[in-house]
Amino acid sequence: MIAQSADTAGIDWSAVRADFPLLTREVHGKPLVYLDSANTGQKPAKVIDTVDDFFRHHNANVSRAVHALGTEATEAYEASRTKLAGFLGAHRDELVLCSGTTFAINLVAYSWALPRLKVGDAILLSRMEHHANIVPWQLVAERTGATIRVAEIREDGTLDLDALYAAMTPDVKILGLTHVSNVLGTVNPVRAICREARRRGIVTVIDGSQAAPHRTLDIPSLGCDFYAITGHKMCGPTGTGALWARREHIAAMPPFLGGGEMIKEVRFEGTTFNDGPHRFEAGTPNIAGHIGLGAAVDYLSTIGMPAIEAREAELLAHASEELQRIEGLRILGNAPEKAAVISFLVDGAHAHDLATLLDLEGVAVRSGHHCAHPLMRFYGVAATCRASFAFYNTHEEIERFAAALVKVRRLLG
């Protein structure tokens, strides 16, 4: 058993786990072991109750009514923006609320990059990017004549920083980089990388989907230009998230979508747009979802992100130790600084077969390419299994996972 750290001592993790109703259910007659938090985090009762309360007692549209319900909805929605900004070390006026990282990166691609890129410019992306930080740049490159350049990784899953910095040539205008890899768990040194990019005049777009749920963040201190997060990975509802952007970018970017609430005045001769960030929030937002995300921020903050990070480091160490004992099992990604994600394969077994049989044992892991085809090609595999841990997991679940994996391996011969 891995020793408890000072940061996690004094926290009743069994009581924390009891806050998550879904974790009490059974799957195929066996207690659920949920190891797919990198895909979506489970929701504490506080978040579920907050969303339920909104629909039962406050349901109205935001910014469009002077009646009591409209005022209550608007105040709760904007309070969530303030909470999330504080959680990220940012100011509320720098935060665009949206459906998640995919929308946020597309917003940057079409509103910031599309009007500025031209033939001869380059967009630099790392090999470990999620498709959400690849495909939008490809679409914009096709329309502008810019090209995509790739920063390669090493076998252990770390970025080749020397090669990355060498690739930051004068034609590179944008660097897209994940803070934490959703496949490898690699934690990239974004502060140092953003500093080097800024020295060269390169705008940085950081995918923080896998960082925000698990690490203390102070986004402005990272030195990036844009930072995207997804709410459903940090115990919030699906369809929520945010884009943090430097104020000078928000002020200079044209709207991405047109419609209601992103305007000050509309005439047929032309429209005067709202100030940022509201000019990027056209139409009715996911009001209940973002109010629920505010509740998730409250919940995570009550536990404390240092304690969450330490707890997950303990779980990762324990799981790595258990899996390394299993003959024929290969772990992809062994970076010195790593989040609680383990992608693995077992000799002679397809990832989907492994995941299917583990599910019969009550263990939920993800199998597939994890929206990272270029990374799969680097390792010469079509798919992997991925076990991803959160603070609500237990050491007992890790032992059950390892035992189930041994059993499945025997079944597969």
Residues carrying an active site annotation? 371
Whole-number Å distance between alpha carbons of 14 and 223 = 38
The DSSP bridge partners found for residue 267 are 270
| φ, ψ at 95 (rounded to 5°) | -115, 115
359 and 28 in contact (C-beta within 8 Å)?
A: yes
Nearest to 405 by CA among 337, 328, 298, 306: 328
367 and 385 in contact (C-beta within 8 Å)?
A: yes
Whole-number Å distance between alpha carbons of 387 and 371 = 15
Instruction: Classify residue 330 by burial, with Cβ atoms within 10 Å: 0-12, 13-18, 19+.
Output: middle
**3-state DSSP call for residue 338?**
strand
Q: What's the token pair of residue 257?
A: 């979508």
Q: What's the token pair of residue 39?
A: 């895909």
Going from the C-alpha of 239 to that of each of 232, 285, 287, 297, the distances in angstroms are: 7, 10, 10, 15
Whole-number Å distance between alpha carbons of 30 and 126 = 40
Nearest to 53 by CA among 293, 288, 239: 288
Q: Sign of the CA dihedral 27, 33, 35, 39? A: positive
Cβ neighbour number for residue 365 with a 10 Å cutoff: 25
Residue 301 exposure: Cα atoms within 13 Å on the Cβ side:
14
277 and 93 in contact (C-beta within 8 Å)?
A: yes
Nearest to 110 by CA among 227, 250, 255, 237: 255
Whole-number Å distance between alpha carbons of 238 and 340 = 21
